[in-house]
Structure 1
């Protein structure tokens, strides 16, 4: 072995030892990556076909999923945080989500939070979903593309272009120069046959590793890698021939043409981060990521809106194909909504998507709102959520989980009991008063408001609770362009609200033979029973407490 070979070998070993000390190769990630790249096209298609009817059981990081929504413009019909939480929409999102990419996941979330009030737009989206249901080959082609795009679980791409970019041309020039120093040092050692050049190289690599560590937060390399994956996925989408997808394809082509420079620059980063990070080790001494990042950071800022639009278009196709699969898997429970001009709501055999063995319920609401009474755990809150969820599904994806749905467009604003008695440092009553005020403010718009309210003002004394509740509910109903369903235990509201509201209830059975049981079916009228003490008796409270409780009720209200 001559001196040249010795120098090259020693240089390579030094670089690997130093860099690997700080960035050890992740064997598991490498094995996983190699497993993916060894999957040929047919294997991927077979996998996707098998997965079509499988719920995607993966952990979802909603703080990252919602980043695109947080960046997007809101309108007056956007589902606010309280309504989203009231309707347990994160769980519903998880149930209906069949996406294969971060872009699809983010867009699916964004669509769900922005119900539409335009029938033509809803029908157009519904037609695309129907296309994916009918043309399985097209759907599988699309999902192969989204499968390869995959997930950036921390949504670093959105984070990277969301005002966190550092533009510094000076660093670009410095890092570009420093990046060629290892080559100069190795060549110098070969030409001049001096070993001290390798000592300088050793010191240089140690310093560069520190530089790399400090720059990691700025570079957001994985976000740029996902941008490269996004561009590759978008290019693959443009190869699909379908007349109904043509508007998407044509716009994607225009956007890709505007991102040519970024396309070329990100290609090298993608290569370097392949094979579980193996090549990235060799990139660090040459500051390739750093120089590439600072070279294109200005262009990323300049073309932020173009990147976001491309991200949304790709994600929208993933989201809509995902919904088509959910619908197909639940086709026996799904139907298309019918929208009418009159403020009304009709649902026949509606169900809630999270229930494994759902009980169907039907309701027709025209001129009056509804007061919903009934005992604990009998199904009132689930019914409120079932109606609300189907409204959102109708106005976002043009399907409902019901045999029939006919309604006007609604702005959904809810007030369902908070989880805690203290909310963000406020008393329960104050938090709920502010919550109800959101509904009253929404009534000012021309779009009807659907407002489910659960246990209104339960945090205050009975006299003020009933009087204020009655006043508010009359006000909401008399506005004409709203449908309010209020679940309550206050039977006194029934007498006060006659003529303004219709009355329905849920009930239960408690007996020694069958124990506690519910049919979860809504019934016309007012509940005549209470079950709180019965439940205490059923689960084993001392008989002394049960008997004393009934006597107190008899003395206070003449209940028995």
Structure 2
């Protein structure tokens, strides 16, 4: 068991113990609530029987105690949800480190077969890069993480991300705390979109006349109520009743406006409360890296902390939600026009802060994204942050694929400094495709600021263009070959615009061997003319002769296989030159195919 697993296991046990303590406390609170209910009932019973005012006071104390205990129980329930989330977080990390289940969203909704590399390199989907990285639980966090894997950012931003990720990787408590709050948020694309739409909707104001009425009529009601209590004049009864009904009529005239502002009030209220707690964690955190402080500064608000403003918005939505309770809404609005005042407060909040909601939620998403990379760095202490350059130099020491088992994966050292394009040969199953994917996926990671699966690296982050895995498109009436030609055309066009990192795996598989060889050689010649960096894998050894024409640009490398004791043995080590051994015929004979 490695030290990271031991850390997670200790945290899991600690949080499980805390959950147990909360359960015991909640049970005691429930018993006390039952006692207060019994005390309330007995106090009222004996008050009416004995007419002792002390018993009436006792009934009041029981009532206050009951509602206080309900509030305490609610806080304990929320605390338990957070602790349950922390237990699950640490259990999931143990499963990941022990190569068991990956209990993280795999981002399958982001799969795009037309993207220049994400489909070929398994960026999204089951057992994908996104899945092993993903420690987000909000919609905006997941979206930010997905988008970061689909394009590169300038070197200056990559360096800022590296610094932020390195800082966050050292604070497991804070990272897990953010994730625990996020996991209990339970937001969705629909909720997020609805909230952003609400913030961008046309600003509303309560008419001045309605504002005056909202204070005037409740005042009249209370004056009439005082007259009812302290005089025998029956007119006050009529005034109070009339004012009560007028207040209800006024409320009904504004019901559509209230309904338009409510959104999905119950979910929005709880989600916003959790957003405020996440933002509060960020506000209270002492940060040193420039990127993290830039994000923290976006939470500044002239009228108070962003967390307090989001909490207030949550409270306003909760107050609006009460209108769905006909008895309570009728009583409070008939007396004080409660929901009209809430609506006015919501309009006022919206006028002051609606333009900041998107930026505040973006901070949550950015922090979740960076936390995901930081967790990746924490779990993989042997990974490195690559040095960056602007000279198109790319070199990796001990490169491998981050999705492979850390105990068995084979590392390789490679650079593209002397010759910038590799022709890669090797028998089936020798490791060619895995090596190409290792190159591609680590270039993608390097372009985000993440550590990569290597012991050392110096990289010029480039746009990644890949043709490795395509599929027939029956709906578009396309053959595999035509789909592949289209992809190669896209790669050529993009390579014309900017120097790119290109990976090609056994191209032109959908045609005959002569056409394939000729086509492959011509593709190589054309693509190296575009000053690209990268590699192509092929089974056709004649293609390797192309390096003799372009010795300053092309180089041959290979993976070999040996037959030992009538078994195929692969060492998955990258070598210079062209592969010499073959395995396909041997394997088919061994499996009695031929």
Structure 2 length-normalised TM? 0.64
Which of 78, 97, 111 lines up with 1:37 in the alignment? 78
Indicate the residue corresponding to 1:490 in structure 2: 540
Q: Identify which of 243, 257, 267 aligns with 2:315.
A: 267
Select 2:188's aligned residue among 131, 154, 165.
154
Contact 1:370/1:504, CA 8 A, preserved across alignment: yes
Q: Distance in 2 between matches of 1:284 and 1:117?
A: 59
Give the corresponding residue for 1:518.
Answer: 570
Q: In the aligned structure 2, how far is the partner of 1:298 from the partner of 1:495? A: 74
Corresponding residue for 2:10?
Answer: none
Counterpart of 1:276?
none
- CA distance in 1: counterparts of 2:104 and 2:429, whole angstroms: 29
Identify which of 253, 271, 285 aligns with 1:240. Answer: 285
Distance in 2, matches of 1:340 and 1:262, equals: 42
Answer whether contact 2:425 2:559 (CA < 8 A) is retained.
yes
How far has the Cα of 1:92 moved from its partner?
0.9
2:487 aligned counterpart, secondary structure: helix
Cα distance in 2 for partners of 1:472, 1:289 equals 70
The answer on whether the counterparts of 2:168 and 2:374 sit within 8 Å (CA) in structure 1 is yes
Take 2:580 and 2:186, find their aligned partners in 1: how far apart are those partners? 54
**Comparing 357-366 and 283-292, the one that deviates more:** 283-292
Larger deviation, residues 387-396 vs 120-129: 120-129
User: In the alignment, which residue of structure 2 is the partner of 1:323?
Assistant: 373
Q: How many residue pairs were aligned?
A: 457
Structure 2 counterpart of 1:109, from 146, 154, 163:
146
Measure the CA separation in 1 of the matches of 2:479 and 2:571: 35
Q: Which moved more, 1:315-324 or 1:87-96?
A: 315-324
Secondary structure of residue in 1 paired with 2:510: coil
Deviation for aligned residue 1:304: 6.8
Rounded Cα–Cα distance in structure 2 between residues aligned with 1:290 and 1:154? 30
> Cα distance, 1:112 vs. partner?
2.3
* 1:253 aligns with one of 286, 300, 305: 300
Aligned residue for 1:376, secondary structure, equals coil
Cα distance, 1:386 vs structure 2: 0.3
Is the counterpart of residue 335 in structure 1 residue 403 in structure 2?
no
The question of 1:389 aligning with 2:434 is answered: no
Q: CA deviation at 1:450?
A: 0.4
Q: Distance in 1 between matches of 2:526 and 2:573?
A: 29
Q: Which residue in 2 is equivalent to 1:354?
A: 403
- Assess if the C-alpha contact under 8 Å between 1:339 and 1:407 holds in 2: yes
- Whole-Å Cα distance in 1 between the matches of residues 160 and 199 of structure 2? 37
- Establish whether residue 434 from structure 1 lines up as the match of residue 467 from structure 2: no
The aligned runs of 1:543-558 (5 Å cut-off) are: 546=594
Aligned counterparts of 2:77 and 2:110: Cα–Cα separation in 1:
24
Task: For residue 88 of structure 1, report the CA deviation from its aligned partner.
Answer: 0.5
Give the Å deviation of 1:44: 8.0
Pair 255,98 (structure 1): closer, same or farther in 2 beyond 3 Å: farther
Partner of 1:85: 119
- The change in CA–CA distance for 1:164 and 1:312 in structure 2 (over 3 A counts) is closer
CA distance in 1, matches of 2:339, 2:487: 49
Structure 2: distance between partners of 1:293 and 1:167:
15
- Partners of 1:49 and 1:140 within 8 A in 2: no
Which secondary structure does the structure 2 equivalent of 1:325 belong to? helix
Distance (whole Å) between structure 2 residues aligned to residue 304 and residue 426 of structure 1? 48
Look up the match of 1:127.
163
Q: Cα distance, 1:85 vs. partner?
A: 1.1
* Contact 1:107–1:319 (Cα < 8 Å) also in 2: yes
Greater CA drift, 408-417 or 228-237: 228-237
Q: Is contact 2:557–2:576 with CA below 8 Å preserved after alignment?
A: yes
Q: Contact (CA 8 Å) 1:142, 1:237: kept in 2 or not?
A: no
Match of 1:313 in 2: 363
Aligned partners of 2:140 and 2:362 also within 8 Å: yes
Computing the radius of gyration from Cα coordinates, the structure with the larger value is 2
Deviation at 1:53, TM superposition (A): 6.0
Separation in 1 of the partners of 2:310 and 2:585? 68
Partner of 1:94: 131
Q: What SS does structure 2 have at the residue aligned with 1:397? A: coil
Preserved CA contact (<8 Å) 2:266 2:318: no
SS in 1 for 2:557: strand
CA contact (8 A) 1:272 1:283 kept: no
Name structure 2 gaps, 5 residues minimum: 1-73, 208-236, 239-255, 331-337
Give 3-state SS (helix, strand or coil) of 2:466's partner.
coil
Instruction: Tell me: higher relative CO, structure 1 or 2? Use CA pairs within 8 A at least 6 residues apart.
Output: 1
Q: How does 1:152-551 map to 2 (within 5 A)?
A: 152=186, 154-161=188-195, 163=197, 219=264, 222=267, 225-244=270-289, 245-254=292-301, 263-269=311-317, 282=325, 306-332=356-382, 334-356=383-405, 357-366=408-417, 367-420=419-472, 424-446=476-498, 448-480=499-531, 482-500=532-550, 501-510=554-563, 513=565, 515-541=567-593, 546=594
Deviation of residue 417 (structure 1)? 2.3
User: For the structure 1 residues 434 and 38, does the alpha-carbon distance in structure 2 shift closer, same or farther, using more than 3 Å as the test?
Assistant: same
Query: Quick check: 1:283–1:289 contact (8 Å CA) kept in 2?
Result: no
Change (3 A) 1:166 1:106: closer
Question: Cα RMSD between the aligned structures?
Answer: 4.7
